[in-house]
């Protein structure tokens, strides 16, 4: 093999490899994902690969003895390896004393309040932009706030993008709590599209005032605000100073998992494109359930924190994941067999991940209980009829994925309860906006547009949506009432049973209509229940929530059941007095159920949570259960088992002085 | 009749040869490529030849032209390419498959380098200077592999790496 010369590019983002043409070297370089040829008229002939430790390791693996390293590349490699070691060392610290943090001087209350593992995470997050994937209820928010100060970026401004429900209850509360004693207590501005126009205008004015006066400010907004990018401070030209930190909370709910890295808005999520434009010194992406059983969903967040390193989604997928041709396109699966440890090693410098069972082993794990229910005869007859019809519709109309899911969703409602009413409602087609035609720009340069018939409504501009109204004729309802009675939650008019104890319960369904029905049924049968769905006003949501929180003021006669929709109750809600969670129907993503169950976790209270998952026998719910077991296994294997193995290796090598 | 490459770097691999039943024709399927078959830059083509053995000589020669693979009856046939139909005895000569596609980037690398290192093509001005520095740069890589501290070699490396930037600074 000829000799090859590897040097860093002038822009500092690629490794340039030059050599006298050699077929073997070309074959080697093609093994490195993202390899590109640079022709003579652009400074070549040479090849380039992304400037990452991963690429460097692959070059070394394939071309090792033939490589001559440039001086700048050598220096970069040394620093990158030192940094990786430092981050690996930090990532394996489980307990850090408060005085080891810089903020022990400036914010002693926060440094003391943080648990040992949180201080260790703070130190790690202060050193690098990263994903914080700690399990729910382990305090990711205070860790992030502490890390920002630990990194010396406390003066801000800071941008936080989070679910609407957490803007005030989580972020405002935590930032104000920890910065109140500082010489300049931080200003927190919350912002969402649901605020009145005047309130939004005031918020913007206040933000600019803080910037002008150099007052530390946190701008906490919804994903929608960032996606629209209408505000001037989202535009790097209008706000060149940029943000000191940019955090995306619960990023699995944002558009990041759908990011493709492409510039074309038609093939990338708008949210991912918008965050790319925002200029920030430090970036954090937070989620306790980041993957939903699909490791590719991590790429968007990695691209968000290090866009120059994680440049191509497909390149990343082909490096680490199983990519199969399904005849129509490519399917991305789990981690390539045999590369799991390498994968975690590559991720470790950018990820913090801890489980409750690791840091709080004294906390009993939630007990998941399957409740298999028989449908009532009427319910079963209806289910079978619609199942047969759905099968025919899917086959005959060759529905796309969305259509198939809609059919499945309908079946799930029938598996919940007999639907006495089905209301057909004609609505404007969302795809074409009711016009029946879709206009598309023919070319960026010509500016001309072409229009074609909307494939969703076939040009009519209208679509019929069928609303299913579930009745109380349900096999699950009976099982639910039985379980509630076992927990001492009974109606005043229940014959024989007496209300006992103080245990509280969450009852959740994916469907608002089912939640409404259960809520009405429980109240009608003397079991006092409150409700949180997408329709619940903010004030009512807070009031209802406080009845089930340790820091709320409960009276003995207050409702003992809170009925919720899985999505409305999934994030940013604390219901830590609850002891049992009843999930009436699972979604296709096991993380949704986990998020819901974690609402009841209280890390300072030793209590066992029971999670009851209700499924109707011989229905679609059986398939969902099987799919979720598989997805859950991928989540555990990738996020946890391999990580634990990797940590054990690092800790062992540290003990042996090899780190 | 044997089929041979007109130049040494042409490879000919006969896949099958059959006398067509009840005719006077012979059919040959063969693969053709230039240089090293395992090189990513190399394209391998599969051709089909149908000819009348009676009308042919002892050898048939194959040459590469810009438009594909051409046939000639003699090794010293002129470089004026002949259409297959002009070769007496050949009934059909057609490409039937691309067995291996060439990697365009590898091909580009190979061709650019051959061009830049060929003194016959060396001109004055930017291209000439660049090509000279490129040659010195490649030699410097070999030198540095033996002696990493050879400052003269580093100077050659820097000189070539700088030239494109300098050109675009003007």
Most A CBs within 10 Å, among B33, B105, B149, to test the A interface: B105
Chain B: residue whose CA lies nearest to A11: B165
Residue A23 with chain B: CB contacts under 8 Å: 36, 38-41, 106
Q: Is A4 helix (H, G, I), strand (E, B) or coil?
A: strand
Do B145 and A27 lie within an 8 Å CB cutoff? no
How many angstroms separate the CA atoms of A343 and A183, rounded?
44
Q: What would the pLDDT profile of A210-235 be if each residue is shown by its tens digit? A: 988 889 999 999 898 888 877 777 77
Mean pLDDT of A622-630: 86
ipTM of the complex: 0.85
* Dihedral-angle region of residue A156 (phi above 0 means left; psi in -120 to 50 means alpha; beta otherwise): left
Query: What is the spatial distance between Cα A29 and Cα A44, in angstroms, rounded to a whole number?
Result: 15
Q: What b/e string do you get for A523-536 counting C-beta neighbours within 10 Å, with b at 16 or more? A: bebebebbbbbeeb
Q: What is the pLDDT of residues A367-400, one digit of tens each?
A: 888 889 888 998 888 888 888 877 776 566 555 5
Are B40 and A7 a contacting pair at CB < 8 A?
A: no
Q: Which two tokens stand for residue B33?
A: 């490529």
CA-based nearest residue in chain A for residue B126: A41
The 10s digit of each residue's pLDDT in A282-297 is: 999 998 888 877 888 8
Residue showing tokens 């040494």: B8
What six digits make up the tokens of A467? 């609303």
Q: Read off the pLDDT of residues A522-561 as tens digits, 9 standing for 90 and up.
A: 988 888 898 888 778 777 877 888 888 777 777 777 888 9
Nearest to B138 among A20, A23, A44 (CB): A20
The pLDDT of residue A402 is 59
Question: Chain B: nearest CA to A34, how far in angstroms?
Answer: 13
Instruction: Tell me how close the Cα of A319 comes to any Cα of chain B, in angstroms.
Output: 20
Beta carbons of B105 and A44 less than 8 Å apart: no
Q: What is the percentage of chain A residues whose pLDDT exceeds 70?
A: 90
What is the distance between the alpha carbons of residues B98 and A344, in angstroms, rounded to a whole number?
41
Q: A18 vs chain B: nearest CA distance in angstroms? A: 8
Cβ–Cβ < 8 Å for B167, B159: no
> What residues 66-95 of chain B have any CB closer than 8 A to a CB of chain A?
none
Facing residue for A3 by CB, picked from B108, B109, B141: B141
Specify the pLDDT at position A658.
Answer: 47
Contact B40 A30 (CB under 8 A): yes
Residue with tokens 């050659």: B156
Task: Determine which of A29, A44, A73 to mutate to test the interface with B (most B C-beta atoms within 10 Å).
Answer: A44
Per-residue pLDDT of chain B (170 residues; tens, 9 = 90+): 899 998 889 999 999 999 999 999 999 999 999 999 999 999 999 999 999 998 888 889 898 887 789 888 777 776 665 666 678 889 999 999 999 999 999 999 999 999 999 887 766 676 788 899 999 999 999 999 999 999 999 999 999 998 887 776 65
- Position A535 scores a pLDDT of 79
Report d(CA A462, CA A426) in Å as an integer.
6
For B113, the closest of A21, A23, A66 (CB atoms) is: A21
Asked if B10 and B68 touch (Cβ cutoff 8 Å), the reply is no
B26 within 8 A of B17, measured Cβ to Cβ = yes
Buried b (16+ CB within 10 A) or exposed e, A599-610: bbbbbeeeeebb
Residue A69 distance to chain B (closest CA, Å): 9
Beta carbons within 10 angstroms of residue A464's beta carbon: 10
Residue A568 main-chain phi, psi, to 5 deg: -65, -35
Of the candidates A658, A656, A657, A650, the residue with the CA atom closest to the CA atom of residue A88: A650
User: Please, what's the b/e burial string for A136-165 (b: 16 or more CB within 10 A of its CB; e: otherwise)?
Assistant: bbbbbbbbbbbbbbbbebbebbbbbbbbbb
Please check whether residue A272 is in contact with residue A255, taking contact to mean a CB–CB distance below 8 angstroms.
yes
What is the b/e burial string over A109-131, where b = at least 16 CB atoms within 10 angstroms of the residue's CB?
A: ebbebbbebbbbbbbbbbbbbbb
How far is residue A263's CA from residue A543's CA, in Å, rounded to a whole number? 44
Can you read off the two tokens belonging to residue B45? Answer: 């083509």
Q: Give the start-end residues of each E strand in B35-131.
A: 44-51, 59-65, 68-72, 90-100
- DSSP for A451-471, written as a single string: EEE-TTTTTSSEEEEEEEEE-
Mind listing the pLDDT tens digit for each residue in A97-140?
888 888 998 898 899 989 888 998 999 999 889 999 888 878 88
Q: In chain A, which residues have their Cβ closer than 8 Å to the Cβ of B105?
A: 36-37, 47
Contact A45 B164 (CB under 8 A): no
Using CA atoms, how far apart are residues A389 and A396, in angstroms rounded to an integer? 10
Confidence of residue A306 (pLDDT cuts 50, 70, 90): confident
Please check whether residue A576 is in contact with residue A499, taking contact to mean a CB–CB distance below 8 angstroms: no
Q: How far does chain A reach from its first CA to its final CA, in angstroms?
A: 34
Look at B105 and A37 and tell me if their CB atoms are within 8 Å: yes
Query: Which residue is listed with tokens 């946190």?
Result: A218
A→B contacts (Cβ < 8 Å), by residue, are: 3-5, 7, 10, 18-21, 23, 26-27, 30, 36-37, 39-40, 42-45, 47, 66, 68, 70-71
Whether residues B141 and A4 touch (CB distance < 8 A) is answered with yes
Burial class (CB in 10 A: 0-12, 13-18, 19+), A237: exposed
**Proportion of chain A above pLDDT 90, given as a percent:** 18
* Per-residue pLDDT tens digits for B84-130: 667 888 999 999 999 999 999 999 999 999 999 988 776 667 678 88
Hey, are the CB atoms on B40 and A27 less than 8 Å from each other?
Answer: yes
Judged by CB atoms closer than 8 Å, whether chains meet at A26 and B109 is answered as: yes
Is the CB of B108 less than 8 angstroms away from the CB of A37? yes
**Touching check for B136 and chain A: CB below 8 Å?**
no
Residue A659 pLDDT class (50, 70, 90 cuts)? very low
Cis peptide before A45, with omega less than 30 degrees from 0? yes
H-helix segments, A187-306 = 197-212, 223-228, 270-277, 297-305
Judge whether B101 is closer than 8 Å to chain A, CB to CB.
Answer: no
Query: Which residue in B has a C-alpha nearest to residue A48's C-alpha?
Result: B105
Q: Tell me: the pLDDT tens digits for A323-361?
A: 888 777 788 888 888 877 778 778 888 888 888 777 777
Would you say residue A618 has pLDDT above 80?
A: yes
Q: Which of A174-178, A439-443, A587-591 has the highest mean pLDDT?
A: A174-178
d(C-alpha A105, C-alpha A568), whole Å: 40
Task: Tell me whether residues A37 and B109 touch, CB distance under 8 A.
Answer: yes
């Amino acid at each position: 093999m000829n000799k090859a010369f590897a040097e860093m590019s002038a822009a500092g983002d690629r490794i340039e490899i030059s050599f006298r043409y050699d077929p073997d070297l070309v074959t080697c370089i093609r093994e490195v994902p993202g390899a590109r040829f640079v022709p003579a008229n652009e400074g070549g002939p040479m090849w380039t690969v992304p400037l990452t430790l991963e690429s460097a390791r692959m070059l070394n693996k394939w071309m090792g003895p033939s490589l001559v390293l440039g001086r700048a590349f050598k220096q970069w490699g040394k620093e990158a390896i030192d940094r990786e070691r430092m981050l690996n060392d930090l990532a394996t610290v489980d307990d850090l004393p408060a005085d080891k943090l810089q903020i022990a001087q400036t914010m002693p209350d926060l440094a003391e309040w943080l648990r040992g593992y949180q201080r260790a995470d703070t130190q790690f997050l202060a050193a690098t932009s990263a994903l914080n994937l700690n399990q729910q209820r382990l305090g990711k928010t205070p860790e992030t706030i502490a890390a920002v100060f630990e990194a010396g970026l406390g003066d801000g401004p800071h941008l936080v993008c989070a679910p609407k429900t957490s803007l005030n209850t989580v972020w405002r509360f935590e930032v104000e709590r920890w910065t109140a004693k500082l010489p300049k207590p931080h200003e927190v501005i919350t912002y969402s599209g649901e605020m009145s126009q005047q309130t939004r205008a005031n918020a913007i004015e206040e933000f600019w005032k803080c910037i002008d006066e150099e007052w530390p400010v946190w701008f906490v907004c919804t994903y929608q605000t960032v996606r629209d990018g209408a505000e001037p401070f989202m535009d790097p030209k209008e706000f060149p100073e940029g943000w000191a930190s940019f955090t995306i909370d619960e990023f699995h709910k944002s558009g990041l998992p759908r990011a493709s890295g492409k510039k074309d808005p038609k093939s990338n999520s708008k949210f991912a494109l918008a965050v790319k434009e925002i200029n920030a010194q430090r970036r954090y992406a937070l989620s306790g359930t980041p993957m939903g059983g699909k490791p590719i969903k991590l790429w968007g967040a990695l691209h968000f924190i290090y866009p120059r390193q994680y440049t191509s989604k497909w390149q990343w997928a082909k490096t680490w994941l199983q990519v199969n041709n399904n005849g129509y396109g490519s399917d991305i699966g789990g981690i390539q067999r045999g590369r799991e440890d390498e994968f975690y090693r590559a991720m470790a410098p950018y990820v913090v991940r801890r489980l409750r069972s690791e840091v709080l082993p004294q906390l009993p794990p939630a007990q998941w209980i399957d409740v298999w229910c028989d449908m009532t005869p009427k319910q079963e007859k209806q289910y079978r009829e619609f199942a047969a019809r759905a099968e025919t519709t899917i086959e005959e109309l060759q529905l796309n994925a969305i259509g198939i899911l809609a059919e499945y969703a309908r079946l799930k409602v029938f598996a919940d309860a007999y639907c006495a009413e089905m209301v057909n409602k004609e609505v404007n087609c969302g795809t074409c906006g009711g016009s029946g035609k879709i206009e598309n720009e023919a070319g960026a340069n010509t500016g001309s547009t072409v229009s074609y018939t909307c494939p969703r409504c076939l040009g009519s501009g209208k679509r019929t949506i069928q609303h299913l109204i579930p009745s109380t004729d349900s096999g699950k309802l009976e099982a639910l009432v039985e379980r509630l009675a076992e927990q001492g939650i009974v109606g005043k008019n229940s014959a024989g049973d007496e209300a006992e104890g103080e245990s509280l319960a969450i009852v959740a369904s994916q469907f608002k209509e089912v939640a409404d029905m259960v809520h009405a049924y429980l109240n009608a049968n003397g079991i006092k229940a409150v409700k949180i769905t997408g329709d619940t006003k903010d004030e009512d949501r807070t009031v209802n929530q406080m009845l089930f929180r340790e820091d709320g003021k409960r009276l003995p006669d207050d409702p003992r059941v809170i009925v919720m929709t899985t999505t409305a109750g999934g994030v940013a809600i604390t219901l830590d007095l609850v002891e049992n969670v009843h999930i009436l129907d699972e979604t296709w993503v096991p993380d949704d159920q986990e998020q819901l169950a974690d609402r009841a976790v209280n890390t300072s209270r030793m209590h066992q949570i029971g999670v009851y998952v209700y499924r109707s026998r011989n229905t679609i719910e059986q398939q969902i259960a099987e799919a979720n077991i598989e997805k859950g296994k991928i989540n555990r294997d990738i996020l946890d088992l391999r990580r634990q193995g990797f940590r054990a290796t690092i800790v062992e090598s540290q003990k042996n002085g090899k780190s | 009749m044997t089929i041979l490459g007109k130049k040494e770097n042409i490879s000919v691999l006969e896949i099958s040869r059959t006398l067509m039943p009840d005719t006077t024709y012979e059919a040959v399927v063969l693969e053709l490529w230039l240089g090293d078959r395992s090189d990513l830059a190399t394209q391998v083509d599969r051709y089909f030849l149908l000819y009348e053995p009676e009308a042919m000589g002892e050898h048939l020669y194959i040459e590469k032209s810009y438009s594909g693979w051409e046939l000639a009856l003699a090794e010293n046939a002129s470089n004026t390419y002949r259409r297959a139909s002009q070769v007496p005895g050949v009934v059909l000569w057609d490409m039937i498959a691309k067995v291996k596609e060439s990697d365009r980037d590898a091909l580009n690398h190979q061709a650019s380098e051959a061009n830049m290192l060929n003194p016959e093509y060396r001109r004055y001005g930017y291209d000439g200077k660049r090509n000279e520095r490129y040659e010195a740069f490649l030699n410097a890589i070999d030198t540095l592999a033996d002696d990493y501290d050879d400052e003269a070699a580093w100077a050659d490396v820097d000189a070539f790496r700088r030239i494109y930037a300098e050109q675009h600074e003007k």
